[in-house]
Structure 1
């Protein structure tokens, strides 16, 4: 009975030694167990049980490392949102104001870029007074003071129908002329001016409108602004028309801080070549009448808003700004009863004659009710007028 007890004791002593060996080199044991079979599996299960806490302790930091990137992924999801908000900011248009120490070269580049953009927006820009010859243009320009070109265009057909030449108007009865010009306002002073300039044309220039600035400004009621309108549009000679719209916009764009028309003319003339002066005037005046209004500019619908240092002086909400657009930009008739074909091709609507009701703005895709637009006046697909208006 004692012999079996002694044999059992060494077996217990050998077992821990084998367990120690198996726990030391787990890889070697794994190889032996695969060769030995079932007992090896038992020892592997024991070693896995004993090493499980160690592995679990090593696995705990591992999920922590995986969760750390997950936490970093959350800010990564926020970053695109910030980027989206940053991209959404330009939709509100935040133009960079020019520096106070802007060089003359930088000013020239900025001004010419704005003019190029306006040329793309208003490729059909033109003088908005109806005329067939220089005499009609100089008279219409004098009559346009303190009133709209639309009102002048509605009035001059009767005037030129009765007095087609300077000689006819020079010999006219002032009271009859006053009655015709009454809708334009200040009709007595305007009657005196147009009759006076007609007499000067008859007596001093053989009934012809002179094509020189120094001669034009000698005519009654004709100043530099009127003279440049006539020179640029009747004779093709470059000139800058500094009217109220032109003065307002060039100051908003910080092209100049001058307030007197002659100083504005000189300052702006130095930024552009003479060949661009006439069309520059049309671009700026067109924009001032349609979008960049005096009291409430339609900043939210302005196509050159990113270039404008004065952005925000008017309505910035796009939907509200859209309702402020005038003439063809807002779907309304223009100022000319007989506009150029390019204006009609761009979607412009002719103005109604005197006494006719001015049609209201049509719904999108519809033509203005009652507008005397010819078949060719339909909006051209993709035209800038329809896209902006």
Structure 2
């Protein structure tokens, strides 16, 4: 692969990531509107958020390995077009069960970003990999933020179906653009599909650094999804009494995350992934303390929610860049399968976080959600510190005394 590609290609890929990732996150802003529109409880409506993330985890495991087997251009365009059709079905669902089912299919097919990131890693030199990964993640963050902000606003004005139908149209348009503009790539593998899936599991078994990175992201992403699922219930509940637009506005405030991830990528290129991971874990732990004041309500509570979610978002996304740079350096010929294993673990953690966040809010209120976030960050931090301690002890083995 050439060491340099035009910047416009990277920008186009970042837009594609943003469009695809947005399909996973706008349901977080509209789930209270779904509850009102379909006349179900807010807890039941939150199942839509969990469903799309479970579908995404399944899609990562089942479909992302195809990025090592088929040319990227037709694969990416086809998946994004299929996601558009599934979004159309979700927006037309007559009740909660078919909406949950359609949401699983949306998640299953909108797995463009995990295919694009390893593709781009193969299009640039090693010295640019962190910066390019950060740029693509910034595109994903832009899609995440805009989808929640615009989804909440459109749902408030036009009903909960509007965000789904709009997202369907955008996905189909971008799929058409990508079909004609993406660079041609040669798949690195000729393995059959069952062998690709088996290789993903073998990589998890054989690569300790992949397992470590996956554990980091599963726990931190679980904390992230717990907050963003529960914050919709907090803002639209009795403490604040706001609408779906408030959830989207809170997400949009966190646009600063788009600036932070390329900076994190450059720090990773300079210092390595581990120091960035450590800072990010401490950031998530700190965000739990700040977010706890969000339960107070009023201007002080809203300020705490803004600062806390911003700190959480920056820490989670920057940690993701660090983890992906680490795993992409392991075995370049199987990057899609490495990313498959990593992202599957991450979104299984995210699905669990959505469910746990909803349960914690129902049983213990907003303080329970903050305790959950702190506990998850401590799990990741403990794993990281144990490894650092083990590495520090290695040089002492076999060293002569005296």
Whether TM-score is above 0.5 comes out as no
Which TM class, normalised by the smaller chain length? under 0.3
Q: Which has the larger radius of gyration?
A: 1
Higher normalized contact order (CA 8 Å, seq sep 6+, divided by chain length): 2
| Structure-2-length-normalised TM-score | 0.20
TM-score, normalisation: structure 1: 0.20
